[in-house]
Structure 1
Amino acid sequence: MSCYSVAHSPDADDIFMFYAIKFGWVSSKNIRFENIALDIETLNREALNSFYDITAISFALYPFIKEEYALLRTAVSFGNGYGPKLIKKKGKKLKKNFRVALSGKYTTNAMLFRIAYPEARITYMNFLDIEKAVLEEKVDAGVLIHESILDFDENLEVECELWDIWEELSGGSLPLPLGGMALRRSIPILKAIEAEEMLIKAVEVATKNKEMLSKMLIERDLVRIDDKKLDIYLGMYANEESAVMNEKQYMALNRLFQIGFEHGFYKCPIDAKEYLIPKEYKEFRFS
């Protein structure tokens, strides 16, 4: 049996999508996974070093690791009318060169933010520390991600929705690509296909058993929010459209890569579908 490391963030949607495997609801005779939860900045940087076999990533990172990692079709998070929020203390006026805390250099929100606010002075930190940094005025503003967008201190207010920046840059009508997963290309192709199939099944099973799985996660203190917020959050980022990317999501992802190229983040635009695991190989191999 092959064992592969799976790294994901500690936010509720990643935990939710993986724990159908952790709890034994999805398994394989050929593969087992060992998981680790780390903040998205750490995950992105470790992916640049090809550290984990399978890893959650910010979609904006993918063009930098495309030669070492295949893009997975599953466990994806897209915003649809919502997304990260730029927050500040109430009543504060931001200068063009305001100090801001972001969750990581290679995150999707960082790329969109840098395009919209080119003169801002950026500090990167763990996403869990951003709200406190703004409240203590270590920075003038910060971009909240994950569950933080649902509930933040009453002394803070939203300066800008990054969804609005995305709408303007993308031309509208496309969901906002935030995070997905990637698999190391050195994994043998049949094992890679099976690993992806397991992860797809895990998201499908989790979604179909949302109430039961959510209760188990809360009882075990595996998530940082209560049942009502968890239900809202999973509806946003871990839903039926998270199991397998659809055509509109591919269009959005390609638009993100094109925007990154146009603004100098990437050397060239890429087509996401060209970097997927070729699942048709399994049929060809055994036909």
Structure 2
Amino acid sequence: MLIAHSPDADDIFMYYAIKFGWVGMDGVKFENIAEDIQTLNEKALAGMYEIAAISFALYPHIRDEYALLRTAVSFGDGYGPKIIKKKGAKLKRNFKVALSGEHTTNAMLFRIAYPDARVTYMNFLEIEEAVLSGKVDAGVLIHESILTYDSELEVEREMWDIWQELAGGELPLPLGGMAIMRSIPLNKAIEYEATLTKAVRVAREHKTKLSEMLLERNLVRIDAQTLDKYLELYANDDSVSLNELQYRAINKLFEIGYKHGFYDALVRAEDFMIPTEYKELRHS
């Protein structure tokens, strides 16, 4: 079974308990591939991966082909992607901005907040340099770069603040989740979700050891101190399994997207999860 995830440290951390053999599933060999988030979103739209990390903002577009998983989720809570520019720069109403992909959560929120901005999309690893070189006026940083950006740059606005204005409350910001193809037999899908959930839980329980192994093998792009801070932001105890507040946040994101014409229907996350009760009914 191939698991597709992004190359950022939180996704690596949440998967690698499987890669290192700490967690497994009888009769199943797991393999992984790491690709940038927009590539993952595009391939989910094309139905190319059976299990894949996606941006939450993408999900309503793939709801007929994929179910949402409850685990390996990343939310912002008082933090998130950052709109950055060169220090001292004044942005015009129609400033040119680099975003990490059309279907990312940050792209949807940005386009709602800045309808006159001229948007260009690029790999998230290229955005900082594009701002520094003047190729664009601003960019939205995601992943580890929110902690490591160049000293010549400054934050124009936090995506968290935009989210709070649009969501109207103290809901966490839904960024990344996992989706599984509906063509997978339900009993198998339930087992896959359980295995992935266990992997995230084991990773959290052994955070220090797993982090050391990732650093020793150069599997992450940041140093130990930054990794520790980053994991507490995006691969924390609330990443193991969705809670009620997170469901409310995802539903609010979908509501905002529907209101602004990004989706063709208003959907609720709870209606698109794997029905784990099937396993209990099957054996009752």
Task: Place the TM-score, normalised by the shorter chain, in its bin.
Answer: over 0.9
Which of the residues 134, 138, 145 maps onto 2:135?
138
Deviation at 1:269, TM superposition (A): 1.3
Alignment map for 1:185-200 (pairs within 5 Å) = 185-200=182-197
Query: For 2:46 and 2:191, how far apart are their aligned partners in 1?
Result: 24
- The answer to whether structure 1 residue 182 and structure 2 residue 179 are counterparts is yes
Give the corresponding residue for 2:151: 154
Note if 1:207 corresponds to 2:204: yes
Asked if 1:63 is matched to 2:60, the reply is: yes
**Paired residues of 1:44 and 1:57 also in contact (CA < 8 A):** yes
Q: What residue in structure 2 maps to residue 250 of structure 1?
A: 247
Q: Secondary structure at the match of 2:253?
A: helix
Deviations 1:89-137 (A, max 9, x none): 0111000110000000000000000000000001100000000000000
Residue 41 of structure 1 corresponds to 38
User: What CA deviation, in whole Å up to 9, does each residue of 1:39-95 have, x standing for no partner?
Assistant: 001000000001001000000000000000000000000000000000000111000
1:211 partner amino acid: T
* 1:87 aligned partner: 84
Structure 1 unaligned spans of 5+ = none
- Alpha-carbon distance in 2 for matches of 1:230, 1:172: 29
The 5 A counterparts of 1:1-287 are 4-287=1-284
Counterpart of 2:152 in structure 1: which amino acid? Answer: N
Partner amino acid, structure 2, of 1:177: P
> Aligned with 1:31: secondary structure?
coil
Say which SS state the counterpart of residue 278 (structure 1) adopts: coil
Judge conservation of contact 1:75–1:243 (CA < 8 Å) in 2.
Answer: yes
**SS at the partner of 1:150?**
helix
2:116 aligned counterpart, secondary structure: coil
Deviating 4+ runs (over 6 angstroms) = none
Q: Could you say what secondary structure the match of 2:29 adopts?
A: strand
CA distance in 1, matches of 2:71, 2:266: 22
The CA distance in 2 between the partners of 1:269 and 1:79, in whole Å, is: 23
Structure 2: any 5+ residue segments left out of the alignment?
none
Alignment coverage as a number of residue pairs:
284
The separation in 2 between residues aligned to 1:189 and 1:172, in whole angstroms, is: 36
Measure how far apart 1:267 and its partner are: 1.3
CA distance in 1, matches of 2:36, 2:29: 23
- The RMSD of aligned alpha carbons is 0.5
Deviations 1:246-287 (A, max 9, x none): 000000000000000111101121110100001110111111
TM-score, normalization by structure 1 = 0.98
